[in-house]
Amino acid sequence: MPDCILNTPIKLGHHRLNNRIVLPPLTRQRSAQPGDIATDLMAEYYRQRASAGFMVSEGTQIEPRGQGYAWTPGIYSAAQIDGWRKVTAAVHAEGGVIFAQLWHVGRVSHNALQPGGAAPVAPSALPALQAKAFIETGPGVGELVQPPVPRALATLEIEELVGQYAQAARNALDAGFDGVEIHAANGYLINQFISAHSNIREDEYGGSLENRLRLLREIVEAVCKVVGPERLGVRFSPLFSGTDQDRVYIGLVEQDPHHTYIEAVKVLEASGIAYVSIAEADWENAPDLPETFRQAVRSTFSGRIIYAGRYTAERGARLVEAGLADLIAFGRPFIANPDLPQRIFNGWPLNALKAEGLYGGTRAGYVDYPVYAEPQ
């Protein structure tokens, strides 16, 4: 796509991005064990994709209870911080910009992943019936399992949790990240607090929408104090089709998703953060976000807006040209094409995505996808 609008620079906070193509957070389950530590192999994977205008790391659990899938990396121990330094150094050597995604899965976990085999924590003792956790059953092998009934967090514990987000943000800066993204999407902990389907608390964190947004507000404020608003983004996954209630693992469908998420965006606007990232439904034949919602996000939020969800370059460019988006994220295409921006801007064909190595493994399906070479 010569002269593609995605191939134009843009400012994000204090950063000048070379293009508007984003590597979004993509769970790949390659961390070293024991300890859930980022590795040299992970550094190579991110280095290969550093031509993205902007990159967000895979979800990194902020504390041991925040893990819902075996072999995902953390960002709460000294060894984990050291591991992530390899990644950020590799990205920066290529001129890239990378934020760390701060993640807590809440109830989408299992006793096998929890310290001492305890129950996962959540806003309320309501199980994630349609979601699955992933546990290790042997070296390099595991299985999907049903999450158990979680334990509802006590009110005082929530204050500690907010502090853990702030500490994870400090750790991310220490590890060399350029900023952080708060994961408030896909049916995980913050999303669980926002949703009336998973939050039936009767204290100041439950009941009204204002109360259900309280945890988001407190985490955003706490992390802002650590990194500054210009180095902070938040990810949401608003779903608008009630027929997709069973797809809980990618989010929770609210009775009035437009109102819920525009109010959530207002929380972000009040804090002046750099961007909001909207993860759309990404299965085949999924419904599009309503145009009225996109327009409301644009009129409500003065920062940058990122959209992700089975976008083609053409469709993403149209959204940017319409003024409804600033950057477009490409997940599956970026897995299979480490040089995705160059392929898009030059009209080169794309590698096909392989099922092998999507989740867990070693090099295969991870760092062995080729860059484009002109036919001889």
**CA distances (Å), 30 to each of 2, 3, 183, 197, 280, in order?**
36, 37, 20, 32, 25
Rounded to whole angstroms, the Cα distance separating 269 from 215 reads: 16
Q: Which of 53, 47, 55 is nearest to 21 (CA)?
A: 53
Tokens 């009225």 map to which residue?
292
Continuous segment of H or E residues that includes residue 41: helix 40-48
> From the CB of residue 29, how many other CB atoms can be counted at a distance below 10 Å?
20
Residues 6+ apart with CB under 8 A from 345: 1, 2, 4, 6, 7, 19
Pairing of strands 179-183, 151-152: unpaired
Whether the Cβ atoms of residue 235 and residue 213 lie closer than 8 Å to each other: no
Other C-beta atoms lying within 10 Å of the C-beta of residue 217: 17
Both tokens assigned to 15: 């950063």
H helices of 49-203, in order, are 78-93, 155-174, 189-194
**Pairing status of strand 275-279 against strand 232-236:** parallel
Q: Report the C-alpha gap between 224 and 271 in whole angstroms.
A: 8
Which residues carry out catalysis? 188
Q: Is 276 helix (H, G, I), strand (E, B) or coil?
A: strand
Neighbouring C-alpha atoms within 13 Å toward the C-beta of 182: 32
Is 169 in contact with 176 (CB distance < 8 Å)? no
User: Where do we find the tokens 């290790």?
Assistant: 136
Q: What is the largest CA-CA distance in the chain?
A: 68
